[in-house]
Amino acid sequence: MNAPLPRDPGLGRRGFLTSAAGVLAVTATASTAAACSTDPVVGPATEADTVFALNGRRTQLVADARVTLLDALRERLELPGTKKGCDRGQCGACTVHIDGRRVLSCLMLAASVQGKQVTTIEGLAQGDRLHPMQQAFVDCDGMQCGFCTPGQVMSAVGLVQEGHAGSDDEIREQMSGNLCRCSAYPNIVESVRKGSG
């Protein structure tokens, strides 16, 4: 058995990408500012101070009011499990639960979740014990590339809570908001059926 690779968050893929993007962002901001010096100054009214429960923990976010919940989770709250697919409410990769209901975090401003309970894919497992739906996706091989899987799992958990896992046809209809570019749909349906039982 191979030894686990050493993990250094500063040298990880995500850490590297984040710092590289930061350099680019600074450059872009500087040139934009030079070109558009008449732009209005962004005042404090354009920031939002939002307190909510994130995977059961009280969380405070002070951010530009334009920031979506999806971007807040991934870029500011270090929870990149929620994926950005289309960023237009068309693919379902960004599905999270707000007050127990499945929603799209890309079409929600972070400022709108004041006082609400947000659950992401990182909040499903209990310690090392996977949520039954996560385990079902593993057992049934309910994925190919895996990019859409966090959204599929969050949507499936919501579907079961809504009582919509009555038949495979109902599962297909009720999972239609989650696209899978690899078309792993047969195994996804099987996973949802198993995870609902």
Q: Site residues (CB under 8 A) for other proteins?
A: 40, 42, 45-46, 48, 64-66, 68, 87-89, 92, 95, 101-104, 106-109, 111-112, 114, 155, 158-159, 162, 164, 172-174, 176-178
Would you call 86 helix, strand, or coil by DSSP?
coil
Q: Least distance in Å: CB of 87 to other proteins?
A: 7
DSSP secondary structure code for residue 57 in this structure: E
Nearer to other proteins, 109 or 130 (CB): 109
Nearer to other proteins, 171 or 184 (CB): 171
CB contact set of 3 (below 8 Å; sequence gap of 6+):
none
Q: Least distance in Å: CB of 98 to other proteins?
A: 8
Would you call 140 helix, strand, or coil by DSSP?
coil
Q: Least distance in Å: CB of 108 to other proteins?
A: 5
Residue of 104, 35, 18 whose CA lies nearest to 69: 104
Nearer to other proteins, 72 or 108 (CB): 108
Residue of 127, 128, 133, 143 whose CA lies nearest to 184: 143
Residue 24 is encoded by which pair of tokens? Answer: 């680019």
Q: Least distance in Å: CB of 160 to other proteins?
A: 12
Q: Least distance in Å: CB of 89 to other proteins?
A: 6
Nearer to other proteins, 79 or 175 (CB): 175
Question: What are the C-alpha distances in Å from 74 to residues 67, 80, 83, 182, 184?
Answer: 11, 4, 8, 23, 25
Nearer to other proteins, 141 or 168 (CB): 168
